[in-house]
Amino acid sequence: MYSINFKKLKNWFLNEKRDLPWRNAPSPYAVWISEVMLQQTQVSVVIPYFERWMERFPTISNLANAQLDEVIKLWEGLGYYSRARSLHEAAQYIMKFHQGSLPIHEDDLKKIKGLGPYTVGAILSFAFRKKAAAVDGNVIRVLTRYFHIEDDIAKNKTINQLREIAFQILPEDESWIQNEALIELGATVCKKNPKCLECPLRTNCKSYINGSTTRLPFKSTKTETYYLYRAVPILLCQNQLLVKKGQKGKIMSDLYEFPYFETSENGWTVSHLTKELLMQWSLDAKFLKELPKVHHSFTKYQVSLQPILFKCSHMPDIENHLWLSYGDLKKLAFSSGHRRIFNTLEGV
């Protein structure tokens, strides 16, 4: 039988909780948006995005009726853009099947695109004050350490066990406070390098007692990193730039990028890239200058971009590419590395 000192945890939370915009008015919509934004993203990064989002899309109806390009643009910089696409699609679904309001029943929430077990639990708990577990990475750290659970959190069996424990230890009253307090504890105290002396639960924490907090949680899988090297021609013609839009279903879906060619770690010379442009696209490109290299990462990839600025005498139609003005491109969302390249072009 698992248990936790709710009174101690609640008192700590009410005294120490951070002032976050989605806590001030926890409407179901605000809870939904904030929880999706917070997935794999730091709170400090999310706050300005959340505030801009709620100003531009204050209701589910506003979001559903927006153009996807605008939604993606507002999300630009948060990464994991599938979250933004899912929010847009989900808003349209909610308008069609739930009259523009998030449903209050778990089974209905599970049918909405992008809502996994944690987000469903968070909406039920924080928005509707229902007794439901909300187990994210923060809570996983707290529970595995507090109860000294050494099982591999890379396995679904372990995560399901932790969800069962999280529900079992919920109080009948104010269960949402315990959920939020556990998340807050994991985010601010029971971090990767825990601040055990600041923890309100340390006297009963099994890992603290036996000195094993830094070993838990245990996760067996290691993600392999892949390295990509790309030559990026920035092609300028009559104040137009050549770009391409990420294809549906691909990693960079709906994001704009400059054309690029895969290279070796040593990159390509200007001469090599010039010949490639002529051979592949019949582009007679005049070299202007090399731009600073850009390094960025996404999912399991580390990418090195080698941008080189060219001026072209004509704008041929190139399959899956567009010639757009600088002003038009400012309104569109780029992948992070290509946005950094774009930002160096002002005044060119």
Please name the residue ranges forming H helices in the chain.
6-16, 21-24, 28-38, 43-56, 60-65, 68-75, 82-97, 106-110, 117-122, 137-146, 156-168, 175-188, 206-210, 270-281, 326-330, 336-343
Last residue of a domain, one of 165, 196, 215: 215
Provide the domain limits for residue 156.
6-215
Q: Catalytic annotation on 16?
A: no
Please name the residue ranges forming H helices in 252-345.
270-281, 326-330, 336-343
Query: Which pLDDT value is given to residue 246?
Result: 81
DSSP state of 123: I
- Which of 35, 76, 180, 257 is the catalytic position? 35
Spatial separation of the C-alpha atoms in residues 256 and 272, rounded to whole Å: 25
Whether 139 and 281 map to the same domain: the answer is no
Does 221 map to a domain?
A: no
Does 24 map to a domain?
A: yes
pTM to 2 decimals? 0.81
Whether 45 and 170 map to the same domain: the answer is yes
Query: Which pLDDT value is given to residue 347?
Result: 55
Whether 240 and 280 map to the same domain: the answer is yes
The number of distinct structural domains making up the chain is: 2
Whether 166 and 201 map to the same domain: the answer is yes
Does 220 map to a domain?
A: no
The beta-strand segments (E) located in 10-95 are: none
pLDDT at 205 over 90: yes
Whether 182 and 297 map to the same domain: the answer is no
Whether 208 and 283 map to the same domain: the answer is no
Whether 208 and 80 map to the same domain: the answer is yes
**CATH code of residue 141:** 1.10.340.30
How sure is the predictor about 153, in pLDDT bands with cuts at 50, 70 and 90?
Answer: very high
Whether 315 and 208 map to the same domain: the answer is no
Please name which of 168, 153, 141, 134 lies closest in space to residue 35, comparing C-alpha atoms. 134
pLDDT at 26 over 90: no
Does 66 map to a domain?
A: yes
Spatial separation of the C-alpha atoms in residues 299 and 301, rounded to whole Å: 6
Spatial separation of the C-alpha atoms in residues 335 and 81, rounded to whole Å: 9
Does 129 map to a domain?
A: yes
Last residue of a domain, one of 215, 246, 262: 215
210-229 mean pLDDT = 87
What the block records as the tokens of 330 is: 């400012």
Query: Which pLDDT value is given to residue 326?
Result: 87
2-27 mean pLDDT = 89
Q: Beta partners for 306?
A: 231
Q: Report the mean per-residue pLDDT for the chain.
A: 91
DSSP state of 199: -
Interval 76-123: pLDDT, tens: 888 888 899 999 999 999 999 999 999 999 999 999 998 999 999 999
Please name which of 256, 257, 285, 253 lies closest in space to residue 272, comparing C-alpha atoms. 285
SS3 157: helix
Last residue of a domain, one of 173, 190, 215: 215
